């Protein structure tokens, strides 16, 4: 568990509250909602459209727009292209946009040997994410609440087995935001989890 803070100006406090009130017109757009099966189905469609459904990658990550938010913000993939380590990013703000692929700064031979596994993006099981997040949330001590998925990272091993690392954020019951001048400071807590190739979820120490 890690304690962190996010800060918004007093003028932004209202918009932060509105954005956290749920899915729909005044809250998280339904097609970007990381907390629902419907939202994740739409997010997968966006990811496969952005990068290509048949694109083979060794990792795929989806992330929230901000801390303590259920709204999808970006996705990234990593893959090998002619022996070179490459990455590509899809953004939702200020508009949905797929950036050009970029080679990794360091092309380490030992690292590349450990990244020989791959899977087509269309074959990643986004449907399992809500259930696994719910399962992980039940492992978090009862003194915390308001859980949101900050990011989910799929990894494909050389043997083709798929695992995932993900982080859930939450607040502490009874702990309120604090006003510091024109700023509002809110504590949030990060809980890291791993899902193995059999779907077993464990909390990282």
Domain map (residue ranges) of the chain: 2-203
Tens digits of residue pLDDT in 2-47: 666 554 433 333 333 323 334 443 479 999 999 999 999 999 999 9
What pLDDT score was predicted for residue 180?
82
Q: Is 0.85 topped by the overall pTM?
A: yes
- Least confident stretch, 95-104, 132-141, 151-160, 175-184: 175-184
Mean pLDDT of the chain: 89
Report the alpha-carbon distance of residue 172 to residue 141 in Å, rounded: 10
Q: Which two tokens stand for residue 161?
A: 């087995």
129-137 and 37-51 helices, crossing angle to 10°: 130
């Amino acid at each position: 568990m890690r304690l962190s803070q996010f800060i918004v100006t007093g003028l932004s406090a209202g918009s932060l509250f509105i954005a956290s009130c749920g899915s729909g017109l005044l809250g998280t757009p339904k097609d970007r909602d990381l907390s629902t099966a419907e939202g994740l189905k739409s997010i997968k469609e966006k990811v496969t459209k952005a990068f290509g459904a048949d694109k083979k990658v060794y990792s795929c990550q989806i992330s929230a727009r901000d801390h303590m938010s259920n709204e999808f913000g970006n996705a990234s993939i990593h893959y090998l292209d002619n022996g070179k380590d490459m990455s590509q990013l899809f953004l939702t703000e200020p508009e949905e946009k797929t950036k050009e692929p970029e080679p990794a700064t360091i092309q380490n031979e030992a690292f590349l040997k450990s990244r020989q596994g791959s899977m087509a993006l269309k074959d990643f099981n986004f449907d399992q994410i809500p259930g696994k997040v719910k399962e992980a949330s039940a492992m978090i001590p009862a003194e915390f609440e308001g859980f949101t998925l900050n990011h989910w990272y799929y990894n494909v091993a050389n043997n083709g087995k798929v695992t995932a690392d993900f982080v859930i954020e939450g607040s502490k019951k009874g702990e309120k935001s604090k006003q510091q001048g024109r700023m509002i400071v809110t504590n949030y807590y990060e809980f890291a989890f791993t899902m193995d190739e059999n779907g077993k979820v464990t909390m990282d120490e």
